[in-house]
Amino acid sequence: MSNIKNIAVLTSGGDAPGMNAGIRAVVRTGIYHGLNMFGIRRGYDGMVQGEIFPMDAKSVANIIQRGGTVLKTARSEEFRSPEGRQKAYEHLKKLNIDALVVIGGDGTFTGASAFLDQFDIPIIGMPGTIDNDLSGTDFTIGYDTAINTVVDAVDKIRDTAESHDRLFVVEVMGRDSGLIALRSGISTGAEAVLIPELEVDYDAIMKRLDKTRKNKSSRIVIVAEGDKEGGMVVADKIQANFPSYDVRLSILGHIQRGGRPTCMDRVLASRLGVASVEGLLEGRKGEMVGLIGGQVQFTPFGKAIKHIDKVNTNLTRIVEILSL
């Protein structure tokens, strides 16, 4: 039987659509099991500063459909030090908080691991990042919304590209992972997709663009922001190779983080929120809860925070085949 009575939840790192659905699920699951629930504002920095407050079912009403995070998020240099973590721990102990649920990405779980090592307090993590770059889950909270935002934007860009016979280089988010670029590239019919995991073969890209330029009135090249050279350099190289092209660059930026979460992200966050609290009650700690093959799975932080650096070559092959 678990001795946990009081659980706090925080969001950390970059915001991701669906985080609010996750907060809601954590709080209401805790209440369902007779626990006292708390929220921590501004992530680990708020924990260091003592920005901790009680939450009830009403405090998470009408947030499931909202983007961003009602708990806010912030970076915390102080939390990186043992002294900062000591301050955070003392604030938790004042409120008799027994366990934590942290929602974020690899940086969030790295911080959770350090805190757990120092104080041995049960912590379960939920994967909240638009990059989908964590091991231990098929999809992260926010990824589905982000790629749908990219698809919607690129569809609109293609309308003007078609009207003016232009080539658009579209830079999307993905500092360490090209999954947003790959999936959105396939779903928008991009001629080429450049991602940080693979070396760019510019000769192959230029040949592909040359081969298709007589058959198409618009062309889209998608570049992940983590690509070695970035969208601006890619656009300049294409323009230099094809002076007759009207090449334009569009950087989508932080629009990809915002917006109402999709049904998939809301359901994913809700399932993982329930599982995180029940995992704590079962005695789990130091693990990320994810969904693999439709089933809830728990992965140790040490394995979850390792980025997925192997690209699904079938996806890159699909881009090439369908670009004709």
Q: Which residues are catalytic?
A: 131
Retrieve residue 27's tokens.
């709080």
DSSP state of 245: S
Q: How far is CA 320 from CA 15, 170, 181, 197, in A?
A: 33, 17, 14, 17
Q: Are 167 and 219 in contact (CB under 8 A)?
A: yes
Q: How far is CA 121 from CA 9, 23, 36, 43, 213, in A?
A: 13, 20, 16, 17, 60
Give the gyration radius of the chain's Cα atoms.
22
Between CA 52 and CA 211 the distance in angstroms is 60
Q: Are 9 and 60 in contact (CB under 8 A)?
A: no
Sequence-distant (6+) residues with CB within 8 A of 54 are 36, 37, 38, 39
Between CA 89 and CA 92 the distance in angstroms is 5
Sequence-distant (6+) residues with CB within 8 A of 110 are 301, 305
What does residue 152 show for φ and ψ, rounded to 5 degrees?
Answer: -60, -45
Q: Are 136 and 179 in contact (CB under 8 A)?
A: no
What does residue 73 show for φ and ψ, rounded to 5 degrees?
Answer: -150, 150
